[in-house]
Structure 1
Amino acid sequence: MNTLLSIEKRNAVLLRMAELLEEERQEIININKTDCEAYKGDDISMFDRLKVNDAKVDEMIKSAKHLASQDDPVGVERFSFKHENGMQIYNKTASFGTVLIIYESRPDVTVEAAGIAFKSGNKILLKGGKESLRSNLKIVELWHQALEENEASTDWVEYLQFNRTETQAFLENPTQQLDLIVPRGGERLIAFTKEHARCPVIVSGRGNNFVYVHKEADLDIAIDVILNGKSKISACNAVDKVFIDENLPNKNEFVTQLISKLNESKIKVLGDYNIAKANNLEEITSDDIWHEEFLDYKILIGEIANNEAAIAMINKYSGGHSSSIITKNESEAKTFMENVDTAAVYHNASTRFTDGGQLGLGGELAISTDKLHQRGPIGLQHLVTNKWYVHGTGQTR
């Protein structure tokens, strides 16, 4: 186990990493072009996540600098108690130890996730996808340079060049200490990790997010929120499903307008029986599609009786990620937000805000759809466990 580095040293490494990303900006973009050209798959959302441009490098730099500016999440006192026998007891945050992240396609994760893990005193093992190998190895090289220049071991950030078989073998019988695994990707990756892992796994699960347009909705807000929810189809916080209250005034005009706006954005619109029939759309053939995360230029619109029915459908079919109600009625919004079982619930706002940076955490390791030990974006302050410190003068029980 690596000895915890001082907070000054951790911050110095992060700030040097930000400088190196700036210095090597063009080189990173050029290497990434090679990855993009070599990608032969047909998954448009994966390709979107793979690509690194100036804006992506800007985000990486911002993430490293922001992490350096944040308070140390390790050693924070959560609870203290003076025992009647005179012992002084504290509960403080502590690093997990070694964290493995398995992810697909996104070179920016190699900066942001490694940065969060490192700042919170953890050794990080990165297992990226083969499609982004060159980009990831270049970024890891910069991590090692930043660590070496600050007289810290390069062991803190390690890249695992494993294929599927080697990954399975490592999960089942790790060749080094492993305290936590975070798989970021599709359901197959998550199922594979859970099946083979021998230590705790935090699931960064599927999106499949819902917007419910209540009968008292502001229709301009509804259109803006739905279109924004579809503005980045590769994001796990994108909107895939929309419920329209059957008692919405001017319902038909609203749906017609919504469909035409979605079509303008090249989004394919599917409908349930009522919506498809009234709007000449392709009708869904099975309710199973309500479960699906699209990660595509596609959206499904259905009609719903009321708030209660919308809550029941979301709780049955969503991925437990994000959901939004559009309404002017505060008490209906409260009912929806308290009873929908997703990590983030919104009232008159876009699900695209489910993101560590947007929710004030400065970045995220992943977005957890589990309930233990952290739900939603996992930021710096969540990548810690805790530890009891008990100071005595010879007390025995």
Structure 2
Amino acid sequence: MNAMLTEQQRNNVLLTMAELIQKKQSEILAVNKIEVDAYKGGDLAMYDRLKVDTAKIEGMILSLQQLVADVDPLNKELYNFKHTNGMNIINKTAPFGTVLIIYESRPDVTVEAAGIAFKSGNKILLKGGKESAKSNLKIVDLWHQALKAHDISTDWVAYLNYNRTETQAFLENPTQKVDLIVPRGGERLIKFVKQNASCPVIVSGRGNNFVYVDAEADLNVALNVILNAKTAKISACNAVDKVLIHDELISKTNFVKNLIEKLIAADVKILGDAIISKYDHVKEIKSDEIWFEEFLDYKIVLGSIENINKAIAKINKYGGGHSASIITTTNETAQVFMQSVDTAAVYQNASTRFTDGGQFGLGGELAISTDKLHHRGPMGLQHLVTNKWYIFGDGQIR
């Protein structure tokens, strides 16, 4: 394992990296344009994630500056106990060691996730998708320049330019020690990593989020939240895919018609259960299996639900464990929903699109974990650490 770097050393590298991205942004954009132009897949989400523009460049720079300003996550005292025999027992935060991040497309992850891992004292192995290899390698070259500028080994940030077969072989028998793997992407990627990894994996990326419109909902709030959560950024894992509408919602027919009209205007394909599919422009779902699907597309399923308990049960059965929102003016109802729904983030009267490290005040995020160990939800700088026990004695034996 690499010797521990001081906070100042880590911050110096991050500041230099921010300067290099600013200075070399035209080169990054030029390389990325080649890959964007070469992309022939029909996946809108993949295209959106692949493309780098000036706004994304600014986001990369800001994420690095925020990391520098953030509190050092290492050596934070979590517990301090004085044993009766005089020993002092202290528990502190510590780095994992080496973190492997596997992701599809998204050159910005090569900056943001690597920055979080580096600031938290971890060596980073990056494995991006083939569609963004040129952009990623360009950014990794800047990481190496930033490290060399401060006489720090380039081993701290490494890129695994492997194909699928080589990646599988590495996961099964790593050629170097790997302490944690974080896959960021669709269900196929996550399944592939979990099947082949030989060390702990934190699952990130699966959304399939639900909005439940309660009988006591404010209809305007419901319309605005659903439209935002579905259409603001379809490539995001915090977008909404499913809407459950209480059977006894006041003016339910008008509400559903208004919602359909607004979704159609936003080019969203609408599917519905047996009840909602009776409305114009809604196609009936063929199987309940669709409730499990994450779309990452202009596509939504609307369903009618008898009561809050059935809504909670449906979300817990089919949802991705990411985010869920209840639209209701009754706080007691919201409390029941928010405590009972098994997702990393729960909302009352707000869009699921806020499940994001930056929006939650964490700065950037390494991932949004839908696992429960060791962290759940957006994983920021303070979460990419484990802990270590320090025991100070003067000859005590047991």
Partner of 1:35: 35
Does the 8 A contact of 1:270 with 1:299 survive in 2? yes
Superposed CA RMSD in Å reads 0.8
Does the 8 A contact of 1:205 with 1:319 survive in 2? no
Partner of 1:207: 207
Counterpart of 2:265 in structure 1: which amino acid?
E
CA distance in 1, matches of 2:76, 2:110: 26
Alignment of 1:15-34 (within 5 A): 15-34=15-34
Alignment of 1:348-387 (within 5 A): 348-387=349-388
TM-superposed deviation, 1:205 = 4.2
Counterpart of 2:310 in structure 1: which amino acid?
A
Counterpart of 1:196 in structure 2: which amino acid?
N
CA distance in 1, matches of 2:132, 2:43: 14
CA distance in 1, matches of 2:195, 2:245: 39
Does the 8 A contact of 2:101 with 2:181 survive in 1? yes
Partner of 1:338: 339
CA distance in 2, matches of 1:28, 1:226: 35
Partner of 2:194: 194
| Identity rate, percent | 68
TM-superposed deviation, 1:281 = 1.5
Partner of 1:12: 12
Does the 8 A contact of 2:260 with 2:281 survive in 1? no
Say which SS state the counterpart of residue 373 (structure 2) adopts.
Answer: coil
Q: Which runs of 5+ in 1 are unaligned?
A: none
Partner of 1:116: 116
CA distance in 2, matches of 1:3, 1:228: 46
Partner of 1:92: 92
Instruction: Name segments (4+ residues, structure 1) moved above 6 Å.
Output: none
Say which SS state the counterpart of residue 152 (structure 1) adopts.
Answer: coil
Say which SS state the counterpart of residue 40 (structure 2) adopts.
Answer: coil
CA deviation string 1:72-111 (max 9, x = no partner): 1010000000000101110000000000000001000000
Q: TM-score, normalised by structure 1?
A: 0.99
TM-superposed deviation, 1:278 = 3.1
Say which SS state the counterpart of residue 391 (structure 2) adopts.
Answer: strand
Partner of 2:72: 72
Does the 8 A contact of 2:10 with 2:118 survive in 1? yes
Counterpart of 1:143 in structure 2: which amino acid?
W
Partner of 1:104: 104
Counterpart of 1:350 in structure 2: which amino acid?
S
Does the 8 A contact of 1:90 with 1:388 survive in 2? yes
2:125 aligned with 1:125: yes
Does the 8 A contact of 2:96 with 2:384 survive in 1? yes
TM-superposed deviation, 1:39 = 1.2
Say which SS state the counterpart of residue 181 (structure 2) adopts.
Answer: strand
2:222 aligned with 1:222: yes
Partner of 1:347: 348
CA distance in 2, matches of 1:281, 1:193: 37
Counterpart of 2:102 in structure 1: which amino acid?
I
CA distance in 1, matches of 2:267, 2:167: 38
CA distance in 2, matches of 1:90, 1:61: 36
CA distance in 2, matches of 1:134, 1:161: 10
Say which SS state the counterpart of residue 73 (structure 2) adopts.
Answer: coil
Alignment of 1:124-273 (within 5 A): 124-230=124-230, 231-273=232-274
Does the 8 A contact of 2:270 with 2:281 survive in 1? no
Pick which of 196-205 and 288-297 moved more.
Answer: 196-205
Does the 8 A contact of 1:110 with 1:136 survive in 2? yes
Say which SS state the counterpart of residue 101 (structure 1) adopts.
Answer: strand
Q: TM-score, normalised by structure 2?
A: 0.99
Pick which of 263-272 and 99-108 moved more.
Answer: 263-272
CA distance in 2, matches of 1:325, 1:109: 31
CA distance in 1, matches of 2:279, 2:6: 64
CA distance in 1, matches of 2:266, 2:278: 22
Alignment of 1:297-336 (within 5 A): 297-336=298-337
Counterpart of 1:233 in structure 2: which amino acid?
I
Q: Which runs of 5+ in 2 are unaligned?
A: none
Counterpart of 2:293 in structure 1: which amino acid?
E
Does the 8 A contact of 2:324 with 2:347 survive in 1? yes
Counterpart of 1:194 in structure 2: which amino acid?
K
CA distance in 1, matches of 2:370, 2:175: 29
TM-superposed deviation, 1:188 = 1.4
CA distance in 1, matches of 2:83, 2:61: 47
CA distance in 1, matches of 2:271, 2:299: 8
CA distance in 1, matches of 2:372, 2:352: 19
